[in-house]
């Protein structure tokens, strides 16, 4: 079994008398077009549903599918360490299953992409002999490939969390596409961004301009959660004197060459 930050195994371990079950699903980015039939069925069939979503339309959709659905947003707190919050979420996902109920955890996008609480909950459930599964869903990265016309198979792909990339400075192939996730939370330990993000992002852009060149194009991309709205796409050279500040949902991409 992998650690909490890794993936989850495809198969459940044998059950040991447990009657409860945990299913983890994602809404996709646009819940109106990307919520899969499998995810919808899991939400409808659950005894208890807990959700963490960024879009009020997604929350309304989940609650319409199951009147027992409730948000876990209250677990976030100003200045509260994110990892403590994630552990509380994982335990909340597990609690109904431990009581013999069918529990469904619903996360925004793909539940396993920046879904540490989901991975932890699935791993703990299986370790306790509780049936657990995670269903795939559309992530912001999938939307980025479609909206920006990028095929990662053409040039290769590097994908990192922005804070990890800035701190670890991994070696990269400058001809491959680089995707940095959550630049709007770079360097943050709490659940909300602070004004310091803008300065850290400028430092990140300077770091990238040293690796690539000041003329290399970068893209700040934010997928749209609504079918009638277009994604936000801000293109700028890495040498820009005042690069844009990423919002909370943005992804930074340097397309391959």
Sorted by sequence, the CB contacts under 8 Å of residue 255 that are 6+ apart come out as: 148, 150, 177, 217, 219
Name the nearest CA neighbour of 113 among 226, 223, 246.
223
Phi and psi for 41 in degrees, rounded to 5? -65, -40
Q: Report helix angle 116-127 to 82-98, nearest 10.
A: 40
Sorted by sequence, the CB contacts under 8 Å of residue 6 that are 6+ apart come out as: 119
Sorted by sequence, the CB contacts under 8 Å of residue 252 that are 6+ apart come out as: 162, 179, 180, 183, 204, 218, 219, 220, 221, 246
> Which residues participate in catalysis according to the annotation?
82, 86, 108
Name the nearest CA neighbour of 93 among 140, 25, 156.
25
> What whole-number distance in Å separates Cα of residue 27 and Cα of residue 59?
10
């Amino acid at each position: 079994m992998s650690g909490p930050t890794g993936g989850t195994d495809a198969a459940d371990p044998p059950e040991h008398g447990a009657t409860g079950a945990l299913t983890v699903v994602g809404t996709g980015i646009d819940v109106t077009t990307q919520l899969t039939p499998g995810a919808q069925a899991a939400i409808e069939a659950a005894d208890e549903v807990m959700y963490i979503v960024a879009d009020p339309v997604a929350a309304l959709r989940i609650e319409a599918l199951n009147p027992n659905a409730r948000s876990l947003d209250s677990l976030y707190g100003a200045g509260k360490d994110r990892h403590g919050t994630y552990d509380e979420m994982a335990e909340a996902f597990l609690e109904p299953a431990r009581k013999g109920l069918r529990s469904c955890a619903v996360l925004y996008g793909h539940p396993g992409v920046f879904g540490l609480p989901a991975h932890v909950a699935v791993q703990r459930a299986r370790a306790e002999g509780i049936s657990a599964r995670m269903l795939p869903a559309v992530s912001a990265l999938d939307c980025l490939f479609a909206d920006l016309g990028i095929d990662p198979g053409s040039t290769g792909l590097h994908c990192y969390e922005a804070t990890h990339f800035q701190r670890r400075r991994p070696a990269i192939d400058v001809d491959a596409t680089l995707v940095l996730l959550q630049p709007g939370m770079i360097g943050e330990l709490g659940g909300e961004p602070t004004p310091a993000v803008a300065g850290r992002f400028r430092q990140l852009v300077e770091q990238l301009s040293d690796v690539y060149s000041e003329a290399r194009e970068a893209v700040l991309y934010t997928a749209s959660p609504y079918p009638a709205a277009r994604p936000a796409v801000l293109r700028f050279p890495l040498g820009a004197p005042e690069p844009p500040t990423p919002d909370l949902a943005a992804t930074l991409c340097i397309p391959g060459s």
